[in-house]
Structure 1
Amino acid sequence: MTQSTRPAGERCHLPVVSLDNVSFHYEQRLVIEQLNFHILQRDFVGLIGSNGAGKTTLLRMIVGLLKPDEGEVRLFGTPLSKFRDWERIGYVPQKNAFNPLFPATVREVVTSGLYGRKKLFRPIGRDDKKKVDDALHALSIEELADRRIGRLSGGQQQRVFLARALVNGPELLILDEPTVGIDSETQEHFFHMIRHMHQRHNITFLMVSHDLDMMHAYLGYEPAQTSGKLKFYVKHTHEPDNCAETNLAHSLRDLRLAGEPAAAR
């Protein structure tokens, strides 16, 4: 039975990320040891750990930027070495991975999210331009489209990077410290937005954050699993009614009209 023909409730239990006996060393130091963890469709997983615990390392392994020393990573049931459907994944790296002097406009940054690893340098067509316009509008940054990314505030930049990650309508969204360097009000708006996305859309979330209050408020206080210094907090959304795919851009516009600010500061 293919995914499209499964009952909605059954689709919500499909594995999105599978980590089997994964270990990783960094310069002879064991960072992650024999990690076994599985993320199901529509899960929201919060990853918490002290500095050096391996949080970013784990995310980089999941998106194929690092290879585990032992064990296997699978995405949507496919071993990472054979996985090619990278457009199914949106990734927002740490803000310090971005060079603020990079000479690109907001529109160019969001458009770059359309270039999957197998679509590099392909022409941008009418449908792609509409995807970019929808992402800009949904994240309330259309008025910033021609601004240089390095001249924006921290909150505005994070909206741009989130729009870039969402432009292809990913099924898995990975966020590495998305609220670092932005003010508390903007952080609250950001969490409100991603909670809305999780509750109403067929998107699986994996997020690293040091904002324990916000994480615990949504995911609870007891980790579902602990591995070394890593703690995994999980919120399942497996009700059949919550599995239907909806129009993300339309829904985020509804959220904006319901009170989200036009642009986080």
Structure 2
Amino acid sequence: MEPLVQQSGFCHREIIKLDGVSFSYDSKRILNDISFTVQERDFIGLIGPNGAGKTTLLRMIVGLIRPQQGSISLFGVPADRFKDWNQIGYVPQRNNFNPLFPATVREVVLSGLYGRKKLFRRITREDASRCEDALETLHIEDLADKRIGALSGGQQQRVFLARALINNPQLLILDEPLSGIDSETQQSFFQLIRHMHQRHNITFLMVSHDIEMVRSYLGQEPKEKSGKLSFYVRHSHDLEDCAETDLLHSLRKEG
């Protein structure tokens, strides 16, 4: 049973719970005693200087590394026992991507369907259909057969977001999605994820250096601070009002 959090007369699931999380690199403490709860349909903006542990925290949440102290739970399940990773979409920093990686846009988006234990699998007709939906949703269908490394920064970010959305996740984690792209593309990208938050049953955790853009949507003051990290929070706990529950179809329909 997933834990529920009472707020404003309604009950909401705990999506992420951090309890006393700490982590060190080479005896240097990066994160110290972080405790924080993310509720269903929250939008969390995580702000902090370089070296404050933002990416480390995200990597712990998605199970790539484990906390050295404390605990993390996802959808009410301890992270070390969590199995349903398809519920989580993850867009890592683009500077972690090798631009010479020999894959097309379509192949990158389809890779979002591969489970952690199955790196490769036979692509079904339904898989292909969801891939085309994701490409059209992010307006990159015309790039499907291009090599991912040949795209602009903004185009690459749309590809990685399409990859993260192909499983219709309930939690979307984005690590610096606005870095390295021009201001017009930043605005367009941020408008898209604001729409997803406001009108769909999806929870966001986003790291960003663009504090003004974060504040414009999440408020001027952080809800909590821990060390050098600041957590800005916007709740969106009304029922989603898009006609369709499938994120890809409804986003594409509404443009």
Question: How does the TM-score come out when normalised to structure 1?
Answer: 0.90
Could you say what secondary structure the match of 2:99 adopts? Answer: coil
* Amino acid of the structure 2 residue aligned with 1:46: G
Q: 2:211 matched to which residue of 1?
A: 212
Q: 1:173 matched to which residue of 2?
A: 172
Asked whether 1:154 is paired with 2:133, we answer no
Asked whether 1:33 is paired with 2:32, we answer yes
Note the residue ranges of structure 2 that are not aligned, 5 or more in a row.
4-8
Q: 1:97 matched to which residue of 2?
A: 96
Q: 2:66 matched to which residue of 1?
A: 67
CA separation of 1:224 and 1:44: change in aligned 2, threshold 3 A: same
* Amino acid of the structure 2 residue aligned with 1:139: L
* Amino acid of the structure 2 residue aligned with 1:54: G
Q: 1:51 matched to which residue of 2?
A: 50
1:76-95 → structure 2 map (5 Å cutoff): 76-95=75-94
Q: Taking every aligned residue pair, what percent have the same amino acid on both sides?
A: 65
1:176-255 → structure 2 map (5 Å cutoff): 176-240=175-239, 246-255=245-254
Rounded Cα–Cα distance in structure 1 between residues aligned with 2:242 and 2:74 = 19
Q: What is the RMSD of the two structures over their aligned residues, measured on CA atoms?
A: 1.8
Say if 2:165 and 2:248, in contact at 8 Å, map to a contact too: no
Q: CA deviation at 1:254?
A: 3.7
Q: CA deviation at 1:2?
A: 8.1
Rounded Cα–Cα distance in structure 2 between residues aligned with 1:24 and 1:154 = 31
Q: 1:163 matched to which residue of 2?
A: 162
Could you say what secondary structure the match of 2:225 adopts? Answer: strand
Could you say what secondary structure the match of 1:178 adopts? Answer: coil
Could you say what secondary structure the match of 2:29 adopts? Answer: strand
Rounded Cα–Cα distance in structure 2 between residues aligned with 1:34 and 1:244 = 42
* Amino acid of the structure 2 residue aligned with 1:15: E
Rounded Cα–Cα distance in structure 2 between residues aligned with 1:244 and 1:231 = 35
Q: CA deviation at 1:119?
A: 3.9
Say if 1:202 and 1:244, in contact at 8 Å, map to a contact too: no
* Amino acid of the structure 1 residue aligned with 2:187: E
Could you say what secondary structure the match of 1:30 adopts? Answer: strand
Rounded Cα–Cα distance in structure 2 between residues aligned with 1:228 and 1:27 = 19
Question: How does the TM-score come out when normalised to structure 2?
Answer: 0.94
Could you say what secondary structure the match of 1:14 adopts? Answer: strand
* Amino acid of the structure 2 residue aligned with 1:247: D
Residues 140-182 of structure 1: CA distance to partner in whole angstroms, max 9, x if unpaired? 0001000000000111000000000000000000000001110
Q: CA deviation at 1:116?
A: 1.7
